[in-house]
Amino acid sequence: MANNIAKGLGIFNTNLIKLLTHKMSYLQASAFETSRNVSAADIPGVRRREVKPFDKVIKKTAHGIEIHLSQSDVTNTHEHINREGEVLNLQNIAMEYQSLIHVYRRYHEMIRLVIGRG
């Protein structure tokens, strides 16, 4: 019932929630490319790939903020792959993702408290 009230008020469709979900999608894409780098680290000639920075892929539109990741947002850095560095990068991505989940959860708890269902 609380979710129905909040959805009816548009509380879950705010720019903050959109930004959080877009950043989480971005981190998933980054984790995918970083995992690819780890798996290809021992293949001769394979170069490191990464997703463009978040501020380069997010767009402000008339409808708010949007992100549309495509292959063109993945770049070859022409660097050799350092497996240990990529694993550390994966850990950083995972920690940032968990932090966003925590913010998302707290936002929902706050909304439930405000509408009296906390």
Q: Which residue bears the tokens 């950043």? A: 23
Nearest alpha-carbon partner for 49 in 31, 22, 67: 31
Number of domains in the chain: 1
Q: How do residues 50-106 score in pLDDT, each as one tens digit?
A: 999 999 998 887 777 788 888 999 999 999 999 999 999 999 999 999 999 999 999
| pLDDT at residue 112 in the model | 84
Nearest CA-CA partner of 11 in 99, 116, 103, 114: 114
Token digits of residue 35: 């995992």
| Backbone torsions φ then ψ of 63, nearest 5 degrees | -95, 5
pLDDT at residue 11, rounded to an integer: 63
Provide the domain limits for residue 11. 2-114
Question: What confidence score (pLDDT) does residue 77 get?
Answer: 92
